[in-house]
Amino acid sequence: MFLSLSLYNFRNLENQTLDLSAPEVFLVGQNGQGKTNLLEALYLASYGNSFKTRNEAEIYKKSTSEYSLRVLFKENEERSHRISIISKDKKKIIEKNLKKIHDRKDFISTIPCILFCHGDLDFAIGAPERRRFFIDQSLSLYDPSYIDTLRTFTKLLKSRNLIIKEKKSNLLDVIDTQLVPIGLQIMEKRNNLVTAFNRIFSPLYENISGIDSVLLDYSPSWKSYSFDEVLVSLIEKRQLDFTMNTSMSGPHRDKIRFICKKKPFIPTASTGQQRLLSLVLRTAQAHFYTETTERLPVLLMDDVLLELDPEKRKKFTELLPQYDQLICTFLPGEPYQNYMREKTRIYIVSDGAFRAE
């Protein structure tokens, strides 16, 4: 649970310290007042990067070249963590419990955040790499070592593509014997995750939408999990790789899609059904994380209920996963009082300032 957040020069937000020590924190305000910026700060404290931008300069308050944020996070009754992030002239320093973090994989399992936001719609209707990103993020949440696996594969793939561009075919045998085992590890982990997700995802989606048999389908680029068979396949496809000047097969080209009764679901799904796919995906991610780690996540929800009709909104909120903390944004006209519990804390947000209601 986030206990407090201190901000300095962070976007349009006032320099302030907020008390977040409640199981539910509701942020209520018109668009553009700073609600999403606060969620961005918490996400940044959890993962070391923003979900809104890759450009550090965009986060600085106007006419400044630095920002900082500090959070106090309670993992359990015996253990708390202090996270600080200081960014100046686009250079960022992250500290956990007063020790500098040099690699994000040593950091991201500290605060288990699940973010629900409008951009998640990309997981349903966006490019294939967005769904691969979601699966890889889900794996990294509970297994930081998977980040190293992805890094190793990316490094080897970059070397292989350079070899292909330079037409040094005699070096491909060496690089392929290194690439294939790492690629097969990624395939196996992705396949196992999708199988586990479907046990959670499909019943949840049916419960809310009334549509049964909607599943995630994982279609790896390599059609075998055998080292020897994949190696032969890569040799057979080398001419195509040389023609296209890049590696045309591998985990970087895996496809993940939604199917319903063995047919593609997205082409016939309504906008509401597509939006619900992304929400249920995040819900399944939270369920899976808790099943795997026995820890409850913090849920950050950014105006994601607006596009659901009242009946689906009610069903979705009833089926939210167990959480350690829920921090949720609302517009003033929304019935946020209906979702309040005994200890819910409400902040009214206006011009970057937060006033406790």
User: HSE of 236 in the Cβ direction (CA atoms, 13 Å)?
Assistant: 8
Compute CA 124 distance to the chain's CA centroid, rounded to the nearest angstrom.
14
Read off the pLDDT of residues 254-264 as tens digits, 9 standing for 90 and up. Answer: 999 999 999 99
Q: Compute φ and ψ for 25, nearest 5 degrees.
A: -125, 120
For residue 167 the two structure tokens come to 């037409």
pLDDT for the residue 171: 94
Q: What is the mean pLDDT of residues 119-145?
A: 93
Query: Residue 174: is its pLDDT beyond 80?
Result: yes
Query: Residue 122: is its pLDDT beyond 90?
Result: yes
Cα separation, 231 vs 172, in Å, equals 11
Read off the pLDDT of residues 232-254 as tens digits, 9 standing for 90 and up. Answer: 999 999 999 999 999 999 999 99
pLDDT for the residue 7: 97
Phi and psi based region of residue 275 (left: phi greater than 0; alpha: psi -120 to 50; beta: remaining): alpha
pLDDT for the residue 108: 84
Q: What is the mean pLDDT of residues 308-336?
A: 88
Q: What is the mean pLDDT of residues 68-80?
A: 95
Query: Residue 306: is its pLDDT beyond 80?
Result: no
pLDDT for the residue 105: 80
pLDDT for the residue 336: 86
**Residue 328's pLDDT band (boundaries 50, 70, 90)?**
very high
Q: What percent of the chain has pLDDT over 90?
A: 83
Which residue is associated with the tokens 């080209």?
253
Please state the pTM of the whole predicted model.
Answer: 0.92
Read off the pLDDT of residues 153-166 as tens digits, 9 standing for 90 and up. Answer: 999 999 999 999 99
For residue 163 the two structure tokens come to 């070899």
Q: What share of the chain is helix, strand, coil (3-state, %, to 5)?
A: 45, 25, 30
pLDDT for the residue 315: 85
The mean of the pLDDT values for the chain is: 93
Read off the pLDDT of residues 33-59 as tens digits, 9 standing for 90 and up. Answer: 999 999 999 999 999 999 999 999 999
Read off the pLDDT of residues 267-296 as tens digits, 9 standing for 90 and up. Answer: 999 988 999 999 999 999 999 999 999 999
Q: What is the mean pLDDT of residues 14-38?
A: 96
Q: In terms of C-beta distances under 8 Å and separation of at least 24 residues, what long-range contacts does 310-316 make, across chains too? A: 312/208, 312/209, 312/272, 312/276, 315/207, 315/208, 316/208, 316/276, 316/279, 316/283
Max intra-chain CA distance, the chain? 69
Query: Residue 310: is its pLDDT beyond 90?
Result: no
Contact (CB, 8 A) for 297 and 142: no
Q: Compute φ and ψ for 317, nearest 5 degrees.
A: -65, -30
pLDDT for the residue 202: 94
pLDDT for the residue 179: 97
pLDDT for the residue 188: 97
pLDDT for the residue 311: 83
Helix (H, G, I), strand (E, B) or coil at 26: strand
Cα separation, 158 vs 164, in Å, equals 10
Phi and psi based region of residue 94 (left: phi greater than 0; alpha: psi -120 to 50; beta: remaining): beta
Query: Residue 103: is its pLDDT beyond 90?
Result: no
- Based on its alpha-carbon atoms, the radius of gyration of the chain, rounded to whole angstroms, reads 22
